[in-house]
Amino acid sequence: MTANPFPLFAAWFAEAGAAELNDPNAMALATATPDARPSVRVVLMKAWDERGFVFYTNLDSRKGAELAANPAVHLDFHWKSLRRQVRIDGRAEPVSDAEADAYFATRPRDSQLGAWASAQSRPMATADDLSDNLASVGARFDGLDVPRPPRWSGFRVVPSVIEFWQDREFRHHERTVYSRDADGWTTRMLFP
C-alpha cells in the first residue's frame, strides 16, 4: 500500500487502457435528488489528476439538475477483464469555463454540433427531432468554429474516499480504502 491512492489508480487505469476493448474510461456515476432518490448512469471520464476525475454533460440534463441540487456523488470503474473495481465517493464541482472550452474544442465537430442540438433528457415529439435540430445547428455554424454551448460544461469529482477492489479466488478479494483527512490520506484494508 502507498500513502497516496493516485499512483495506484494511474497503474490500474493504464492496465485497463491496454486490456479493455471499449471505453476503459467508462465509469458509473451515481447522483441523488435533494430528497435522496438515486440515479446511476455510465459516463466517460475525460481527465483526471490529484484534484479529481472530470466528465462533461449538458447542465440541463437530469444529472446536471441533480448535481446542481446535491453535489454528493459516487463513481465506479469496473474493469471486468482485469477483475478490478475502483469506487470513489466525492463531491462534484464545476470545472472552469476555460477548462470546459479547451475540452470542447478537442471534440469532433459532429459531437460539438450534437451538444447544441440535443435537449438532453427532455422528451422528443418524433424520432426526427434530433436530426432536424442537427441540420439547423449545422446550418447556423456552417463554415464557423462551433463554440461551447452555455448549458454544456464539466464537473470534477473531488474524492474523499477511494476504494480499490481486486477479485481473488473463493471470494478472498482484496479491498484497500483510502480516506482523505487533514494530513492527506489514511489507508485501511477491508474484509471482502
Catalytic center residues: 171
Cell of 76: 465506479
Q: Following DSSP, what letter does each residue of 65-124 receive, concatenated?
A: HHHHH--EEEEEEEEGGGTEEEEEEEEEEEPPHHHHHHHHHHS-HHHHHHHHH--TTS--
The single residue listed with the C-alpha cell 494511474 is 10
Contact indicator for 42, 29 with CB cutoff of 8 Å: yes
116 vs 151: CA distance, rounded Å: 9
Nearest to 192 by CA among 171, 178, 177: 171
Cell of 87: 469506487
Nearest to 76 by CA among 52, 109, 40: 40
Q: What's the first-to-final CA gap in the chain, in angstroms?
A: 17
